């Protein structure tokens, strides 16, 4: 089946966001396990910059639609693929938004590599004073569980791409690396 080419912009956005999300999830898990608080500013800075790229991808995806399937697989496979694609898009939006909301509501403010965008809310003891502790906790929980949902969606997405390539022998994966 002949595949409609994916634009260089779409490929660049896909792979940049994929690398960024996988890297940030890995860094987030490392920070959670080791309590490496010194890495939080790097994590938040990269996440905020990546969110700009994610926003561009969402606009492109919603304006162009999804690439046409080049697989002749059963309807249930197409339904699972659609679900996973939406989970990835929504997860990559919810993840940075919940992190941003957590940072703001917990009084940490927003900065990109030390450049303050929104000043923090310093407390009496030098630690940030929460603006809304309940909302900060909710945002933190959403951020945490969305990370795990994204891991599951990424695993399914990669498994699907490998199935297309190795089992079906179609051009789905080749198309996303610009080789179809």
In this structure, the number of other CB atoms found within 10 A of the CB of residue 114 comes to 7
Joined tokens for residue 127: 């630690």
Q: Is the pLDDT of residue 142 over 80?
A: yes
Q: Is the pLDDT of residue 146 over 90?
A: yes
H helix runs in the chain, sequence order: 8-34, 40-64, 75-105, 133-162, 172-176
In the predicted model, what is the mean pLDDT of residues 75-79? 89
Q: Is the pLDDT of residue 133 over 50?
A: yes
Q: Is the pLDDT of residue 1 over 60?
A: no
Report d(CA 88, CA 92) in Å as an integer: 6
Given this model, what pLDDT does residue 3 score?
Answer: 44
Please state whether 26 falls in left (phi above 0), alpha (psi between -120 and 50) or beta: alpha
Tell me what the pLDDT averaged over the chain comes to.
90
Given this model, what pLDDT does residue 4 score?
Answer: 56
Which of these, 8, 101, 94, lies nearest to 54 by C-alpha position?
Answer: 94
Stated pTM of the model: 0.87
Which of these, 83, 13, 15, lies nearest to 52 by C-alpha position?
Answer: 13
Joined tokens for residue 112: 């990109």
């Amino acid at each position: 089946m002949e595949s409609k080419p994916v634009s260089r912009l779409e490929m660049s956005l896909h792979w940049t966001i994929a690398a960024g999300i996988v890297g940030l999830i890995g860094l987030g898990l490392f920070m959670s396990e080791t309590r490496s608080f010194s890495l939080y500013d790097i994590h938040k800075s990269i996440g905020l910059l990546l969110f700009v790229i994610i926003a561009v991808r969402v606009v492109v995806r919603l304006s162009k639609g999804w690439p046409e399937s080049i697989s002749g697989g059963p309807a249930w496979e197409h339904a699972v693929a659609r679900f996973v694609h939406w989970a990835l898009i929504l997860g990559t939006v919810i993840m940075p938004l919940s992190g941003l909301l957590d940072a703001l509501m917990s009084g940490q403010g927003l900065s990109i590599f030390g450049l303050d965008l929104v000043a923090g809310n310093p407390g009496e003891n030098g630690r940030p004073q929460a603006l809304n502790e309940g909302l900060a906790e909710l945002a933190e929980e959403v951020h945490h569980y969305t990370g795990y949902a994204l891991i599951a969606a990424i695993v399914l997405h990669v498994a699907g791409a490998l199935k297309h390539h190795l089992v079906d022998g179609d051009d789905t994966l080749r198309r996303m690396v610009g080789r179809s």
